[in-house]
């Protein structure tokens, strides 16, 4: 019975934690990236809102109704660095982007506000949302660009779960 209680407590703890802002990884990594053109992907909104999520080759995108301020998040079971970048109007014509959430080694969850917070930019105001990962020798490389990011419902939390 004690083991069952411990497992239930851990599951509840992880679920609660998954809805909180967590930007610790940003301060542990180098936000500069190198890389090639990212692959354009489309998020299937209907699939993302389902229990299974929108399944891509290396990750799954899931949407859950936001209970408070909506977040965009990234999770992973493994190691190596992965992140989410936003490109906004200040950076048009440059290669600069803002790292908003990432995971690395012991940090398995990172998140950032989608909207509704004084320092956040609405998804509708952005010019790009990118998923990046560390590749050879740990270089941060753009992996995917979400082509239909403006269609992501800002009343939902959006989570990129690396397989």
Q: Is the pTM of this model over 0.95?
A: no
12-22 residue pLDDT tens: 333 443 457 78
Question: pLDDT at residue 77 above 80?
Answer: yes
> Residue 141: what are its φ and ψ, rounded to 5°?
-125, 135
Beta strands in 54-125 (DSSP E): 54-55, 59-65, 71-75, 82-87, 98-103, 109-113
H/E run at residue 7? helix 2-17
Give the least confident one: 52-66, 68-82, 94-108: 94-108
78-135 residue pLDDT tens: 888 999 988 887 777 777 788 889 998 888 999 988 875 555 667 778 888 999 998 8
The pLDDT value given to residue 130: 92
Percent of the chain with pLDDT over 70: 77
The pLDDT value given to residue 15: 42
The pLDDT value given to residue 131: 94
């Amino acid at each position: 019975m004690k083991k069952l209680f411990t497992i239930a407590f851990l599951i509840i703890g992880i679920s609660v934690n998954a809805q909180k802002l967590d930007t610790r990884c940003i301060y542990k990594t180098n936000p500069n990236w190198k890389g090639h053109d990212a692959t354009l992907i489309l998020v299937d909104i209907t699939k993302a809102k389902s229990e299974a999520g929108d399944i891509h080759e290396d990750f799954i995108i899931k949407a859950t109704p936001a209970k408070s301020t909506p977040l965009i998040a990234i999770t992973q079971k493994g190691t190596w660095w992965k992140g989410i970048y936003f490109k906004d109007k200040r950076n048009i014509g440059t290669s600069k982007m803002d790292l908003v959430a990432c995971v690395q080694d012991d940090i398995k969850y990172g998140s950032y506000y989608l909207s509704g917070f004084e320092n956040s930019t609405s998804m509708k105001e952005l010019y790009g949302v990118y998923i990046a990962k560390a590749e050879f020798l740990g270089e941060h490389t753009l992996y995917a660009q979400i082509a239909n990011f403006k269609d992501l419902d800002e009343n939902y939390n959006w989570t990129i779960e690396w397989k």
